Structure 1
C-alpha cells in the first residue's frame, strides 16, 4: 500500500510535467507516423508491378529495423543535430517496414478476377487504384499503420536521450534517482498511449475509404498548422538553459534561471533538464538549439577541446579550457564555482575497513576479490578507468552500467567497487568510502556556464547574473543539495532557490 501511495503522490506532483511529456510524445509519434505513411504507401503502390524491386526494398527496410535505436540516434546526431528531428527520422526508419509490407501485400493479393472486371469496365489505372484496389487493401494497410504506431510510441521513449522530450524523460529520471514511481509513470503512460492510439487507428479499418482520406487530410492540415505556429512562437527572445542527466545539473540550471529572472523578471527562460550527454548538449549549443548549459573544466579539456596536456592547478585548467573554447568554437566559458566534482573510486565502508583500504593503490592487495561496475563514460575516457589501470597497475573485471544502477548494484553486493563523482549524494546514502587518489590522476572538474560568444555579447546582463555563482558552492553544500533532491525527494527548483536566498544571491 505504501508503494501505491508513493506512486499516487508522485503522479499528483508531476501531473503538469506528465501532460507536457504526453504532448511531446504524441507530437513526435504523429509526425513520424505521417512521414512513414507518405513514404511507404506511395512506394508500395509504385513497386507492386516490379516484384524484384519490391523484394529488395522489403529486405532493406527489414535490415533498417535491426539497427539498434541508440546506435541509429548516435549516427544521426552529427548529421542533423539533436532534439526532435533525429528522433523523428529514427522513428520513421522503424515504421517503414510494417506499412510498406502490408500495403504491398494488400495490393498484390487482390483477386485477379476483380482486377479484370475493373479493366473490362474501362477504368483507367489511377481510377482503378482509387476506386477498387486501395479500398480493398485498406484494412490490411491500416493494420500495418497500427503496428507501426505501437512500435513508434514504444521506441519514442528513447527520444529523451537526445533532448526531444516525451515520456522517456520520466523513465530516465526514475532510473537516475532510483525512483520506481517515476519509471512506472513513464512506462504505464507509454503503454496506455499505445493502446489508445491502436484503438483509434483500428476504427479507420471500419470506415469507408473516402472518409479515411478526408480524415487524414484534415489531420495533416491541423497538424501542420500547429507545428507552424509552434515554430514561429519559438522564434521569440527566449533563453533556453539545458542540463545533463541528474539532480546536480538540474539544481544548477534552476539557479541559472532564478539568477537571470532576479535581474530581469520579464525574461522568458525555458529549462530543459536531463537533456543528454556532453556531446548532445555541446552540439545543441553550437546549433543554437539551447543557449546555456553548465559544463565542467575537466570535461572541456578531455571531451570538447581534446587538450594534449592537462595542467595541474584548477586555475590553469579553467584558463586553458576557456581559451581553447574561444579559439576553436567561439564559445564563452564563464567563471567556475568553487567545488570540484571530480572522479573517484568508491567501495563500501565496511569493505574498506575489512581490507584496510584507504587509497586507490591499496586495491592492488585485493584485485582477486574485485568486481566492478562503472559508467560507460568513465570506462571510455582516457582520464578514467584506462588511466586508473595504467597508473595504479590494476586489472579487474568491469561491467558497464548506467550511473544510478551501479550504486544499487554495490548496495546489493552484486559488485564491490564503482566509479563515482565526489559530490554524489549516493556516497552518503549507501555508506560508501571514496578511496584517496594518492597519485593525483583525476583532473579538476569545476562547473561553469557555457554559451556561445555571440549570445554572451548579446546578453551581457545574463553574463553578469550567472557570474554571481563564481567561487560559490562548496563540495559539502552541493552534495547536501543532491541528497535533498535524490533522497529526500525535494524539487531541484526549491533546493536551488533556497540556496540562492540563503546566500543572498537573489532577492526574496
Structure 2
C-alpha cells in the first residue's frame, strides 16, 4: 500500500513535469499566451479533487491511470508558475551575452536560461510533490489504491490506530520527500562550478543518473498491471461487501482452485462502470438492488411497472442494457432505517417511525449528504413529508463521521443502513418502518453474463456455487458479522471463513 501510494505520487509528478515545464517555457516565450495558460492551471487547481477524478474516470475508467492524470493536473500550477518565474528572473545581461556569442534562441534557453532558472523550477516541483502526497488519498474512491482506503476505513470504524497510522505514514512520507528535495534545492542554490573537482562532478552526475533511474522505476510501478488471474473483483467500502467478497474468493479457491483477485477499494457506482462494457476490469460485484436502481441506474421506485418487484425490474434492466444479471437474494435487506439513541427511545417509548411524529420538534436529525439530495423518492424531503415529521434541527454530516457524531450527542435521530454493525456499537434503537416508506435493498451478486461461459471448463457449476450464498443471511446475522469486523476489529477473512464452515460450504 505504501509503495502504491509513493508510485502514484512519483508517476503523477513525472507527468506533471513533462507537461508543466514546456507550458512554463511557452508562457515565458509568449506573454500573450501566459494569462490563458496560467488561468487554465489555476482552474484545475481549484477544481475539487473528487470531481476532477470523476470527470477523468468517465474517459479512462477506474484505476491508477485516472488517479495519476488527476494528480498530475493538480500539480501543474506550481511547476508552470515557477518555470515561467525562474526564466523571467534570469539577468538580461546574461541573455545578451548569449546573443553576442551567436547562440540561437533555443541554445540560449538550454545553455543559459534553464540552468539559471532550475533552482526556482525545482522549488515548484518540491511544492507539487508534497501536495500530491496528501491529495493521493482520493485514489481510494476510484480504485487507485494507496493509503486512502486505510484512513477511510479507520474513520468509519472510529479506529484511531488506523487513522493515526495512515496519517502518520503520509506525514512521514511528505517530510522525507520534502527534506530530500530541500537538500537538492539547497545544493542547487549554493553550488558554484569552480568549487568541485572533475572527479567529484563525475560522481555527482552518476549519482544523479542513478537517482533518476530509481525515480522513473518507482513511477513506472503504477503502470505495471496488477495480477488479475481468474475472477476479478473490486473491494468495497463497507464491511458487508468485503465479507461477501471474501466468501466468494474462498469458495472459488476451495472448490475449483480458481484464483480470485480482489483489487483496490472502489465505490459502488465506479465499480459498476468497471464491470460493464467490452473493456471491463472486473467480473462481478456484490451490491443491493435498491442501490443499483437509484445510485447506479439513476432510476426511482416510481419507474417500476405495476405488478413488478424492484428486484425483478432491476434484474431485467441490467440484463437488457448492460449484459449482466443478478444471481438471487442472499437474504439481507440493507435498506435505509431510522435509528434513535437508546436514551431517547426509552424516554419517549419509541418503537416505530410514526412514534416520532409528536416528539420530532424536540429532536435533532442527522444524515449524510446523499440522503438530502433530490435524486429519488426515498430521501429526506419525501420522508419527512410522508411521516409528517418536523425536527428541531437537521444536520448534514459526513458518512464516515456520522456514528461518531451521534455517539458524541450531536443529534438524537439518524438515518442508517439496516445491517450496519456500527448501529450496535452506537447503541441505537432501529425504529420499525410501520408505513413501509423505504423500499427493499436486497443484497445480491451482480455478474457479467459472459463470466460463466469464460470459466465453464474450470468451474462448470460456477453460477450454482455463487448462488449457494442465497437465503443464508438475515439482517441480524449480517449486523453481527459486520460488528465483529467494524468494532471488534476481527479479520474479514476469518469472519467469512467461520460463516462458510458453519453453513457447510467449506470444510473445517
Could you say whether these structures have the same fold, taking a TM-score greater than 0.5 normalized by the shorter chain as the test? yes
Worse-matched range after superposition: 362-371 or 251-260: 362-371
Give the one of 365, 369, 374 matched to 1:376: 369
CA distance in 1, matches of 2:305, 2:387: 20
1:448 alignment counterpart: 444
Does structure 1 conserve the Cα–Cα contact (< 8 Å) formed by 2:289 and 2:441? yes
Q: Secondary structure at the match of 1:76?
A: helix
- Asked if 1:415 is matched to 2:381, the reply is no
CA distance in 2, matches of 1:196, 1:178: 28
Does structure 2 conserve the Cα–Cα contact (< 8 Å) formed by 1:173 and 1:274? no
Give the one of 342, 351, 371 matched to 1:349: 342
Does structure 2 conserve the Cα–Cα contact (< 8 Å) formed by 1:347 and 1:417? yes
CA distance in 1, matches of 2:364, 2:410: 8
- Asked if 1:96 is matched to 2:76, the reply is yes
Rate the CA distance shift 1:419–1:217 in 2: closer, same or farther, 3 A: same
Does structure 2 conserve the Cα–Cα contact (< 8 Å) formed by 1:240 and 1:292? yes
CA distance in 2, matches of 1:22, 1:352: 45
Give the one of 35, 44, 66 matched to 2:15: 35
CA distance in 2, matches of 1:441, 1:83: 37
CA distance in 1, matches of 2:219, 2:345: 60
- Asked if 1:463 is matched to 2:468, the reply is no
Does structure 2 conserve the Cα–Cα contact (< 8 Å) formed by 1:176 and 1:245? no
Structure 1 residue 138 displacement after superposition: 0.9
If each structure's helix is expressed as a fraction of its own residues, which one has the higher value?
Answer: 1
Aligned positions of 1:421-432 closer than 5 A: 421-432=417-428
Worse-matched range after superposition: 351-360 or 93-102: 351-360
2:111 alignment counterpart: 131
Does structure 1 conserve the Cα–Cα contact (< 8 Å) formed by 2:155 and 2:163? yes
Structure 1 residue 217 displacement after superposition: 5.9
Structure 1 residue 220 displacement after superposition: 7.1
CA distance in 2, matches of 1:129, 1:271: 49
Number of residue pairs the alignment of both structures matches: 482
Aligned positions of 1:232-381 closer than 5 A: 234=227, 237-265=229-257, 267-272=258-263, 274-276=265-267, 278-286=268-276, 287-305=279-297, 306=299, 308-310=302-304, 316-380=309-373, 381=375
Structure 1 residue 199 displacement after superposition: 2.5
Rate the CA distance shift 1:186–1:139 in 2: closer, same or farther, 3 A: same
2:30 alignment counterpart: 50
Unpaired runs of 5+ residues, structure 1, are 1-20
2:380 alignment counterpart: 385
Aligned positions of 1:207-226 closer than 5 A: 211=205, 214=209, 218=213, 222=217, 226=221
Per-residue CA deviations over 1:379-434 (Å, capped at 9, x if unaligned) read: 33522323312311224343222334222211211111100111121222222111
CA distance in 1, matches of 2:80, 2:399: 40
2:489 alignment counterpart: 489
Q: Secondary structure at the match of 1:336?
A: strand
Q: Secondary structure at the match of 2:232?
A: strand
Q: Secondary structure at the match of 1:415?
A: coil
Per-residue CA deviations over 1:146-201 (Å, capped at 9, x if unaligned) read: 00000111100111122111011111010111101111111111111112222333
CA distance in 2, matches of 1:77, 1:403: 23
> What is the root-mean-square deviation of aligned Cα atoms in Å?
2.4
CA distance in 2, matches of 1:374, 1:273: 27
Structure 1 residue 241 displacement after superposition: 1.6
Worse-matched range after superposition: 375-384 or 102-111: 375-384
Per-residue CA deviations over 1:107-159 (Å, capped at 9, x if unaligned) read: 11101111111221222222222222111111111111000000111100111
CA distance in 2, matches of 1:309, 1:376: 24
Rate the CA distance shift 1:311–1:472 in 2: closer, same or farther, 3 A: farther
Aligned positions of 1:103-118 closer than 5 A: 103-118=83-98
CA distance in 1, matches of 2:216, 2:422: 50
Q: Secondary structure at the match of 2:330?
A: coil
CA distance in 2, matches of 1:348, 1:227: 46
Unpaired runs of 5+ residues, structure 2, are 192-200
Q: Secondary structure at the match of 2:332?
A: coil
Q: TM-score, normalised by structure 1?
A: 0.89
Rate the CA distance shift 1:410–1:168 in 2: closer, same or farther, 3 A: same
Q: Secondary structure at the match of 2:231?
A: strand
1:10 alignment counterpart: none
Does structure 1 conserve the Cα–Cα contact (< 8 Å) formed by 2:64 and 2:222? no
